Each structure stands twice: as C-alpha cells, then as structure tokens.
Amino acid sequence: MTIVLHRPVRIRDIEALRSQLGLSAADMAWLLGIVPAKWCAMFLQARLAPESWAEPCHALLVRWLSRHPEQSPTLYPPTAGDFLLGLRRVGGNVTLRAVALALGRDPSAGYRWFRNGAPVGPDGRRAIALIHDAMPARFAANWSEWRSNMETEADLRGIDLRHPAGWSLRRQAQEFAL
C-alpha cells in the first residue's frame, strides 16, 4: 500500500492515502495533526497547483502510514523530553537538532521543545506517537526506519539536512547563490 517512493510526497498523496485507509477527511486531518482550516487551505492549494509538495512533517507521516497502515497514534504520546530520553536510551546520542529534523521541523525547534518547554505541534505529536514504542528494540527500529524515510524525502526534495537551514530549500538556495 505504499503511496510514493520515487518522488517527494505531494498534497494529493494525502488524499490517496485517506482513500486507501477508508478515513473521512476529518479523521485523516486528525491523524496528520492538521487543523480543519489548514486542511481546506492545503487542498485548495493542491487544486491550484497539483504538484505542490506536502509539508515535511506531513510527508513523513504519509510515508510512514503508507507502509504501516495498521498503526494509529495514541491520544497521549510521550512528552518531547520523555521521547528524547527514550531515544537516547535506544539510539545513543540523539541530538535536539536530529529530533526536530526527523519531525519535519526547523532544526532550532528541538531546542525550543526540550530546553524551553515549547509545545510540539499536533503533527509532531502524531509522529512521536507513531515512532515511540514501549519495547526498546521496536522503538529503535521505528526510529531507524523513520530516519530513513526522512532522508529519502529530503533527498527527493534536493535538501541537504546537514545544512543549517534544515528543511528550508528556499533558504538553502539563497545561501548557495550568495
């Protein structure tokens, strides 16, 4: 039931996955952590520009859910701090930057979440819930697969996640042009 492998995830892939999973638009929006107004705006954008890419976090969620349709995030995922501690137990020295990038966010978001206590958005909480597992071996395997999905999506978008701009292709292009 894999949606895409050879190109970046597009907004229209979200609709294809929704249809394959047999979910209502409201359920799919919840599953991806998208508020209704944003959901409507995304699909208006998809109608106007059918090749529009999904936001990085949504793309990563779509890639994961297309490979693991049986999974559903819990209503109460671990906090960002507990998630990071768990990752460090099973995956070694995982950085704040690595977690932020893995959740499809700006590299500095990790600092805000873990040091300043800023909340992780709904889409990031869904990702945390899907990656986290009480069994350490499964948690480590999920993290490894999630990171692989992240690297695939970034490569397909032409984004170098080692660059300080992270997921922002526009910022990377501007800095390379200087």
150 and 173 inside one domain: yes
pLDDT on residue 177: 46
Domain membership flag for residue 52: yes
Domain membership flag for residue 1: no
pLDDT on residue 178: 43
The answer on pLDDT for 165 being more than 90 is no
> Tokens for 54?
């999904």
26 and 56 inside one domain: yes
pLDDT on residue 76: 85
169 and 90 inside one domain: yes
85 and 168 inside one domain: yes
Task: Please state the separation of Cα 172 from the chain's center in Å.
Answer: 20
Query: How many angstroms separate the CA atoms of 128 and 58, rounded?
Result: 13
pTM of structure:
0.86
The answer on pLDDT for 2 being more than 80 is no
pLDDT on residue 149: 94
88 and 51 inside one domain: no
Residues forming beta bridges with residue 10, ordered by sequence position: 53
Domain membership flag for residue 4: no
61 and 84 inside one domain: no
61 and 100 inside one domain: no
pLDDT tens digits for range 104-154: 999 899 899 988 888 999 999 999 999 999 999 999 999 999 999 999 999
Query: How many angstroms separate the CA atoms of 10 and 66, rounded?
Result: 13
pLDDT tens digits for range 77-93: 898 889 999 999 998 89
Average model confidence (pLDDT) for the chain? 88
61 and 91 inside one domain: no
91 and 159 inside one domain: yes
90 and 173 inside one domain: yes
pLDDT tens digits for range 13-51: 999 999 999 999 999 999 999 999 999 999 898 899 988
The average pLDDT across 55-82 equals: 90
Domain membership flag for residue 2: no
149 and 172 inside one domain: yes
Tally of domains in the chain: 2
> Tokens for 123?
């889409």
- Tokens 């992780």 belong to residue: 120
Domain ranges, residue 158:
80-177
58 and 93 inside one domain: no
Domain membership flag for residue 74: no
